[in-house]
Chain A
Amino acid sequence: MSETRPDAEHRVAMYRSMVLCRRFEERVYYLFLEGRLPGTIHQSQGQEAAAVGVCSALEAKDMITSTHRPHSHALARGVSVNSLMAELFAKTAGCCGGKGGSMHVGDRDAGMLPAIAIVGGGIPLAAGYALAFQYLHRPNIVACFFGDGAANIGTFHEAVNMAAIWDLPVVFVCENNKYAASTGVEKSMKVKHVSDRAAAYGIPGETADGNDVETVYRSMRRAGARARQGQGPALLELETYRFAGHSRSDPGHYRASEEVAAWKERDPIALYEARLCAEGVLDREKISAIASEIENQLEKAVELAEQAPSPRSEDCLTDVVAN
C-alpha cells in the first residue's frame, strides 16, 4: 500500500496542475464570450482537486475515462495544452484532429480515452479497458470519472457489477458536484452517499473531500493500489462543486447564492495554496512565477490553435469505421 505523503515537488506540481485547469477554463470562457470559440462548453471550475488528485495518483500507462466536462481531466492527465486548445477550436492540431471538440477530448498516448459526453457512457468503457489490462496481464488500472447524475444511469449499475464480479482493475470515481445539470442530488437519490452503493456490488466504497487535493490523492492511491494488485474495483465518491453553470447556457438559478458562496469559500486552489504557503512549500514569488508561466502557455496555445488549419471536408471519411 502506498500511503506515502507526496513530496514537496509533487505537491507543487499538483498545485500547478490545478491552477492550469482553472486558468484554462477561464480563458476558454472569455474566448467563448468573445465569439472566438465555437460550440458550447461544460466547465469545471471548482472541481480541480478531484481531477488532479486522482490523475496524480496514476502511473504513466494507466488510463482514464471522462465525461462531457473533461477539460480538467485532460489537463490533469497530461494531455498537451496546445492540442487540447486546438481541439476546442476544432482544428487539425487538436488531440482528436479537430473532429471531437470540447466534449470528446482525449489522447490515448497521454492515458486518456476520448471523453464520452453521454451521461454514464464512459463507465462500461472503463470496465472494458480494465478487462483488457487484466486479460493482457498489464499492471495498469483505469480511473473512471463520472458525475452524480451518471450514478443513476443503468450503465453505472451494470458496469460496476461486472467489474466487481471479475475483479477488474478499475476505480470508479464519482465527482459528486451536487447537481445533475439542474437536478439536486437529494432529488435523484435515496441513499445519502453515492459510495453507499458500493455495498450492493461487494466492493469498497469511500466518500472523500473532493476539494482537498491531497485527500483525493491518498484515497485514489489506496483504491488504485488495491485494484492494481488484482483485488478488484472500488467506488470513490469525491464531494465537490462546480462554480459555473452546467453549460454556457445555464445561469444556475436553481442554486442558492449562499450555497455557491459557501463552496467558493472552499475553493480547492485557494485552500491548497494557503496550506502550501503555511508549510513553506510555496511563497508569493513561486505563485506568481507559476501564474505567469501558465498565462504564457495558454497565450501560446490560443495563438497556435487559431493559426492551425481546420479539417477538410474529405477528412470526414478518415477515423471512421464502417462495415
Chain B
Amino acid sequence: MIHNVIMPDLGQTAAEGKIVRWLKKPGDSVSMGEPLLEVETDKVTMEVESYKGGYLRAILVAEGEVARALSPIAILTDRPDEACENAPAGDAATAGPLADKLPPLPRADKPGAGSPVSSPGAVANDPVRARATPAAKSHAREVGLDLRSLVASRPDGLITRRDVDSALARRGQSRPALPMAAITTRSVQSIPHFDVTVDADASALLAWRSRWNEDHPELRLSLNDIFVRAAALALRDVPELNVRYANGVVEQRTAADLLLVVALDERLSLVGISDPTSLSWEEYAGQMRQTLERAGHGLASPSLPAGIPALAISNLGMFGIRQFRAIIPPGSTAILAIGAVREEAVVRNRQVGVGEVCTFTLAADHRVVDGITAAKFLERTQVHLRVL
C-alpha cells in the first residue's frame, strides 16, 4: 500500500515548513516512530518521525525546499518492490486527508468534497466591498490580487486564503509570487541592511576572459562565472564576512559557499554553489555549468553541509543595469549586487581615458558585519578580478 508522508502542520505561526534534511533516502526501510526528516519553521527545527513503518520510495520535496502544511512530501510503501508510479504528486487535491477537511467549506471547483456538509456552491461577491478573512486580505495584498475580483467558495461569501490561492493557481502564478513575497518581506523586516558601493576596473578581466574563451571553446566562462569565483575568493580572504547570525550568536563558517540568485522560468530561485576556491578554472567552469543546468531542470543544488551560505550574489548586468541594491536572502549575511560592465571615461594619472568599469554593491547585515568588513571584501573582490 502507498502512504503519503505530509508536511505536518506545526501549528501556531507556521503554515509551511522547510525541509532541512532527509534522514532516509529512497529505498531505505523506515520503522514507525523513526525520525524521517528535519523540518524548519519560522520558530524551530524539529525531527519528524514516520507515522508508519515501510519503505521510503520517493522524495517529493527536496532538501532546502519549502512545503505547505499538509501537502505531500514523500511516499512510503509497505513493501520495498511495490509499484508506486501512480503515487500522488505534490498537488493540493492529493494532500493529506485533512487538507480537504480544513475549515473552509468545500471549494467551488470541488463541491461537497471531503465534507458531509452540502454547499450551495460559489457565491458571487459584493462588487464594491469584498468581505475576506485577514489572512486572505494580507495574502491578496502580498501577491497583488484585487479581492473584488475573487469568488468566495464559502456559502456566506467570505473570501478565505484558499480562495486567493485558487485564484492565483488559475492565473498560473501561485508558485512564483508566493515564496518571493514571504522571503523578501521576512528579510526586510528582520535584517538591518546597509550597503557599500564601489566601481571596479573590469579591463583586466575582460581581456583575460577573451583569451580563456578562445583557448577553451568547450568551457566558455560568462562574466558572471568570473564574478562568482572572485567573490568566493574574497570571501575566503575576509572571514569576518563569512559568518551567520542566529539567535544572538555569530556563527563562523569556513567554506566559501555562495548562494546565486538566478531567474528560472521567469521566477527567482536561489542556487547553492559549493566553495569553488580550491578548484582550477577548468573544474570550476564544469561545476558551474552542471549546477546551473541541474537548477534549470528543477533539480536540487549540491548539498551544502554548512547550511545556507553567508554570501549571496545577484547580477543584473545582462540587463544593462548600472547598479542596484539587493535584498539579503534570510539565512545569509550579505548579498553582492553586480551591475553591467560598461565603457566609461576614467581618469588615470591625471589623464582622461576610456576604461571598462563595473559597479558592485554589497548589502550586508549590520548585526554581524560592519562597514570596514564590507569595504575589505569589495577591495579583495577587485584584487581577484585584476589578478586572474
Contact = CB atoms under 8 A, between A and B. Distances in A.
A39 B11 contact: yes
B277 interface: no
A62 B48 CA distance: 40
Contact of B44 (A32, A250, A309): A250
Contacts of B47: 251
A40 B9 CA distance: 8
Contact of A40 (B11, B70, B102): B11
Contacts of B41: 249
A247 B105 CA distance: 27
A37 B98 contact: yes
A30 interface: yes
Contacts of A313: 105, 117, 156
Interface in A25-43: 29-40
B12 A35 contact: no
Chain B binding surface SS class: loop
Interface in A306-321: 309-310, 312-313
Interface string B1-32: 00110101111101000000000000000001
Given A248-B11, A249-B11, A33 B101 contact: no
B56 to A, nearest CB: 14
A30 B96 contact: no
Interface residues of A, number: 23
B14 A310 contact: no
B8 to A, nearest CB: 6
B276 to A, nearest CB: 34
Given A40-B11, A249-B41, A35 B48 contact: no
Nearest to B8: A33
B49 interface: yes
B117 A34 contact: no
Contacts of B50: 33
A309 B101 contact: no
- From A30, A31, A253, residue with most partner B Cβ within 10 Å: A30
B101 A38 contact: yes
A45 to B, nearest CB: 12
B133 interface: no
A214 B314 CA distance: 66
B117 A30 contact: no
Given A309-B116, A312-B117, A36 B10 contact: no
B8 A32 contact: yes
A247 B14 CA distance: 13
Contacts of A248: 8, 10-11
Interface of B: 3-4, 6, 8-12, 14, 32-33, 41, 43-52, 70, 95-99, 101-102, 105, 115-117, 156
Given A34-B51, A35-B98, A40-B9, 12 more contacts: A31-B51, A33-B6, A36-B96, A38-B98, A38-B101, A40-B10, A245-B46, A248-B11, A249-B41, A249-B46, A310-B117, A313-B105
Interface of A: 29-40, 245, 247-251, 253, 309-310, 312-313
16 contacts: A29-B51, A30-B32, A30-B33, A31-B51, A32-B8, A33-B8, A35-B70, A37-B98, A38-B9, A40-B9, A40-B12, A247-B11, A248-B11, A251-B46, A251-B47, A310-B101
